[in-house]
């Protein structure tokens, strides 16, 4: 069966990418860990859908593989693994962030503006999915902001994963077919290993300090 090589519907990919950004903004204001994990799963599901759509319309078969891998790893396995950790350690809510929610949302609005300014030169090239580059940059910046603003180690893990989602979305935006399959498989494997190691670290922090607040590790300073 031949896979068609034609442009996707004009608003489909930008719509899915915008939904990813909305989910990211919900994570910025959400303090329940289980809810944040579910939001990450929804965002990853949207990313997998983008991979499938771009793969179908561009004829890039390897994007089907990457989409399936994203679904299996980020929609199914990692959320299950992280939820298991949360239930095991018994801490389900984020502590007070460094920056309150209204200010954080204003900053995220600024990140969105920066994303569109940086992506503007690329929107004139006509590449498949170029309209999603601004969203990808915003996801990356917001992910880094979440890593700085949140104090729970597990939430910082989620922030790292959402930033990685932004990188993958940017790869699709700039190349029309994503990174080479071997690179994407390597990144996915690295992410899985990193999250499992960080999950073990979270559990050890909880055992040692009765908290997942990374600020508690300041006590290790001699």
Q: Give the best-scoring range by mean pLDDT among 9-23, 119-133, 163-177, 207-221.
A: 9-23
Task: Name the domain count of the chain.
Answer: 1
Does 147 have pLDDT greater than 50? yes
Residue 45 included in any domain: yes
Question: For the residues 84-103, what does the mean pLDDT come to?
Answer: 78
Residue 112 included in any domain: yes
Residue 74 included in any domain: yes
Cα separation values, 138 from 90, 94, 112, 203, Å:
32, 23, 5, 31
- Domain with 23 in it: 12-208
Residues near 95 by beta carbon (within 8 Å), at least 6 away in sequence:
151, 152, 213
**Phi/psi-derived region of residue 32, left when phi > 0, alpha when psi is between -120 and 50, beta in every other case:** beta
Please give the model's pTM, rounded to 2 decimal places: 0.80
The residue among 201, 143, 202 whose CA lies nearest residue 169 is 143
Does 192 have pLDDT greater than 70? no
102: helix, coil or strand? helix
Give the pLDDT score at 38: 93
Residue 90 included in any domain: yes
Does 1 have pLDDT greater than 50? no
Q: Tokens 């071997």 appear where?
A: 182
CB 55 within 8 A of CB 64: yes
Tokens of 155: 């939430």
CB 146 within 8 A of CB 158: yes
Residue 222 included in any domain: no
Give the pLDDT score at 2: 42
């Amino acid at each position: 069966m031949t896979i068609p090589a034609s442009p996707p519907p004009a608003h489909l990919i930008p719509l899915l990418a915008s939904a990813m950004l909305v989910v990211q903004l919900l994570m910025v204001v959400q303090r329940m860990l289980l809810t944040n994990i579910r939001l990450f799963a929804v965002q990853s599901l949207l990313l997998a859908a983008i991979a499938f759509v771009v793969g179908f319309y561009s004829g890039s078969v390897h994007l089907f593989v990457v989409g399936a891998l994203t679904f299996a790893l980020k929609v199914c396995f990692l959320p299950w693994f992280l939820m298991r950790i949360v239930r095991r350690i018994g801490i389900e809510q984020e502590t007070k962030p460094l920056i309150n929610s209204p200010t954080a949302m204003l900053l995220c609005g600024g990140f969105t503006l920066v994303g569109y300014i940086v992506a503007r030169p690329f929107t004139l090239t006509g590449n498949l999915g170029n309209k999603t580059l601004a969203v990808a940059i915003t996801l990356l910046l917001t992910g880094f902001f979440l890593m700085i603003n949140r104090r729970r180690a597990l939430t910082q893990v989620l922030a790292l994963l959402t930033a990685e989602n932004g990188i993958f979305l940017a790869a699709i935006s700039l190349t029309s077919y994503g990174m080479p399959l071997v690179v994407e498989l390597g990144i996915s494997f690295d992410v899985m290993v990193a999250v499992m190691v960080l999950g073990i670290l979270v559990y050890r922090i909880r055992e040692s300090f009765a908290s997942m607040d990374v600020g508690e590790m300041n006590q290790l300073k001699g």
